[in-house]
């Protein structure tokens, strides 16, 4: 089962890119973040015509929003509102084989990494604290077949950013954010698939700013998009080796691209 995650930065604006990706990569499931539309504005017909008839959407007017589109049935769809805000940042569903799939869009956090003066950064930290508490309540994860994907807006390791030293005080790579994300990982024994397959000494990115005139030559990226699995899916996620995991950088070269690249994992179920 091939699962993809992609912060599309407006699904209506980039529906052609979505359809191209679905045609070329043929994932079984695609999780989208930052769809930026209400549920009834989601381009369901176009995506259904591409073979993805099973859809679960949590949208809102103009901001945020997440969706799951799938070739295979989605059961028990639900959404959780974090931090008392109905801002459409989570949706989950059960895939065939009993795999529970969580799709997240963690708040970006604004520009100033100080929760006392930046409400957006405080919201981000609170969101991750609530993620930790929620997954801690799920009980032992050893037998739970779960996958967590999404734009988590944190690049946790030194080689998840273009310059560890220069970005230590920049939102997405600050020590407090990294610590909070680590606690989320520990709360449910999540396995960071990218770093389970790719050595921490190797730089890998999934996001490149629009500000760079030539994103490839500057290559000032960050790894903000993640795929995690529970221990029950370790073998399924890792047995295929690096060939089963991919960051599709070429999509960043497409006309009018998202600033994020899609990430895929093929589970051997």
Each residue's pLDDT tens digit, 65-100: 999 999 999 999 999 999 999 999 999 999 999 999
Q: Can you give the residue ranges of every domain in the chain?
A: 2-266
Torsion of CA 244, 245, 250, 252, to 10 degrees: 150
Distance in angstroms (rounded) separating the CA atoms of residues 145 and 159: 29
Rounded CA-CA distance 48/150 in Å is 22
What dihedral angle (degrees, nearest 10) is formed by the CA atoms of 173, 87, 41, 30? 50
* pLDDT at site 141: 74
Q: What is the pLDDT of residue 125?
A: 98
Averaged pLDDT for residues 14-30: 98
Mean pLDDT of 232-254: 97
- Quote the percentage of the chain above a pLDDT of 70: 100
- Beta-carbon contacts of 51 under 8 Å, excluding residues fewer than 6 positions away, are 22, 71
Question: Do residues 73 and 54 lie in contact, with contact meaning Cβ atoms separated by under 8 Å?
Answer: yes
Name the token pair of 154.
């944190």
Q: Could you tell me which residues come within 8 angstroms of residue 186 by beta carbon, excluding any fewer than 6 positions away? A: 132
Q: What is the pLDDT of residues 115-158, one digit of tens each?
A: 999 999 999 999 999 999 999 998 777 789 999 999 999 999 99
Helix (H) or strand (E) holding 177: helix 175-187
Neighbours of 73 (CB within 10 A): 11
Closest CA to 9 of 209, 258, 208: 258
Indicate the average pLDDT of the chain.
97
H-type alpha helices, 155-208? 164-167, 175-187, 193-197
Residue 138 has what pLDDT?
85
Tokens of 161: 């950013």
Amino acid 143: pLDDT: 81
Q: Is 239 left (phi over 0), alpha (psi -120 to 50) or beta?
A: alpha
d(CA 203, CA 216): 14
pLDDT > 90? residue 54: yes
CA distance linking residue 78 with residue 7, whole number of Å: 20
- The arrangement of secondary structure in 2-266, i.e. its CATH architecture, is 4-Layer Sandwich (3.60)
CA-wise closest residue to 151 among 188, 106, 210, 88: 106
Look at the block and give the residue holding tokens 């698939």: 193
* 3-class secondary-structure state, position 266: strand
């Amino acid at each position: 089962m091939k699962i993809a995650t992609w912060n599309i930065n407006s699904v209506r604006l980039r529906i052609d890119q979505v359809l191209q990706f679905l045609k070329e990569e043929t994932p079984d499931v695609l999780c989208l973040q930052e769809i930026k539309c209400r549920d009834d504005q989601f381009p369901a017909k176009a995506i259904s015509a591409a073979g993805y008839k099973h859809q679960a959407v949590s949208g809102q007017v103009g901001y945020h929003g997440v969706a799951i589109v799938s070739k295979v049935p989605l059961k028990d769809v639900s959404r959780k509102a974090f931090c008392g805000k109905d801002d459409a940042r989570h949706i989950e569903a059960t895939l065939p084989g009993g795999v529970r799939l969580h799709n997240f869009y963690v708040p970006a956090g604004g520009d100033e990494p100080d929760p006392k003066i930046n409400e957006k950064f405080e919201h981000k930290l609170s969101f991750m604290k609530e993620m930790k508490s929620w997954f801690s309540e799920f009980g032992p994860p050893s037998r739970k077949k779960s996958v967590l994907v999404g734009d988590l807006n944190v690049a946790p390791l030194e080689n998840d950013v273009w310059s560890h030293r220069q970005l230590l005080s920049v939102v997405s790579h600050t020590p407090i954010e990294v610590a909070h994300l680590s606690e989320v990982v520990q709360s449910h024994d999540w396995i960071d698939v990218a770093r389970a397959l790719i050595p921490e000494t190797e730089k890998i990115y999934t996001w490149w700013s629009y500000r760079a005139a030539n994103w490839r030559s500057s290559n000032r990226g960050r790894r903000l998009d993640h795929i995690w699995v529970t221990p029950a899916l370790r073998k399924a996620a890792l047995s295929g080796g690096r060939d089963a995991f991919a960051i599709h950088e070429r999509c960043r070269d497409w006309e009018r691209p998202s600033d994020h690249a899609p990430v895929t994992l093929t589970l051997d179920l």
